Amino acid sequence: MACAEWRYFRLTGDDGRIPDLFWLLLALHQWHRDNRTWPGGGYWATGVSSQMDNQPRVPDSRDHHRHWTWVDATVQAALNCTCLAQMAAHLGEDNVALALKEEHLHLVELINKQLWNEETQFYQDVSPDGRFSSIKSIGAYWALLDSGLVPEKRLGAFIQPLRENWAFNLAHRIPSISADSEAYNAETGNRWRGGIWPDVNFMVLRGLRNVGQHGLAHAIALNHLQQVQQVYMDTGYFGTIMRQKRPYPVNQPAKMR
């Protein structure tokens, strides 16, 4: 929410909302820090709270965190620190801004020490005993939205799966989990087990642009638009979830009249 408000200000120049909303957004951030973290500082979520309700990245986790550290929740907290720090600086709250910047640095260090899987060259959820998830989730690419999070030496390897046809570079880009992940469903996508969601595609595209990967972002965006157009040409429908085997919606879409 903080990043949405900050983006609204940057797009419109209207800063009338910031003085009223900043302290509420900061309180919400602090509540999550106090109630949704482990002693080491990593954040937890659930399938439902992450919006990826049936993605098996954490076992049996639709309604429970299973004591894992969740990569998207932790990265989103770091992003929130940055946006709140910018708001605080705009309001002249320099001490608050400094504290948020320090919190951001701590989270960036934690993410790169604990959630980077050297074997897969990917950011992944981690169990209480230090095991990485077997799933490469599109949710890891929230990290691209934070310019200071992914070290330069890791960036190429981290985005490479977006170019590979054994991972995320399929007929319709980008599946919600990589094709080499356990539980990937090529037939229907089964929602977050391979389905393509425009909203998280948009997140990845903005992240790629943020790290200077304009060519890759353009290729993915063009592919997605072509697939959506084909669905409409074949069915007269636009859907919010797409699948690989046939480029048809798998939810109940709205028909365009």
Confidence of residue 241 (pLDDT cuts 50, 70, 90): confident
User: Nearest Cα to 85, choosing from 1, 20, 28, 3?
Assistant: 3
pLDDT for 255:
44
Confidence of residue 40 (pLDDT cuts 50, 70, 90): very high
d(CA 81, CA 252): 37
Q: Write down the mean pLDDT value for the chain.
A: 91
pLDDT for 248:
52
pLDDT (tens digit per residue) in 51-74: 899 999 988 889 888 999 999 999
Check pLDDT > 60 for residue 37.
yes
**What pTM does this model have?**
0.91
Check pLDDT > 70 for residue 78.
yes
pLDDT for 51:
87
Considering only 58-67, 69-78, 91-100, 201-210, which range has the smallest mean pLDDT? 58-67
Considering only 98-102, 108-112, 181-185, which range has the smallest mean pLDDT? 181-185
**Is domain 2-255 annotated with CATH 3.30.70.260?**
no
Percent of the chain surpassing pLDDT 90: 77
Question: With helix as H, strand as E and coil as C, how does the chain read?
Answer: CHHHHHHHHHHHCCCCCHHHHHHHHHHHHHHHHHHCECCCCCECCCCCCCCCCCCCCCCCCCCCCCCCECHHHHHHHHHHHHHHHHHHHHCCCHHHHHHHHHHHHHHHHHHHHHCEECCCCEECCECCCCCECCCCEHHHHHHHHCCCCCCHHHHHHHHHHHHCCCCCCCCCCCCCECCCCCCCCCCCCCCCCCCECHHHHHHHHHHHHHCCCHHHHHHHHHHHHHHHHHHHHHHCEECCCECCCCCCECCCCEECC
pLDDT for 222:
97
pLDDT for 246:
56
Q: Which long-range contacts (CB under 8 A, 24 or more apart) does 150-153 make?
A: 150/211, 151/112
Domain boundaries, the chain: 2-255
Check pLDDT > 80 for residue 253.
no
pLDDT (tens digit per residue) in 122-167: 999 999 999 999 999 999 999 999 999 999 999 999 999 999 999 9
pLDDT for 61:
84
Considering only 72-86, 93-107, 194-208, 234-248, which range has the smallest mean pLDDT? 234-248
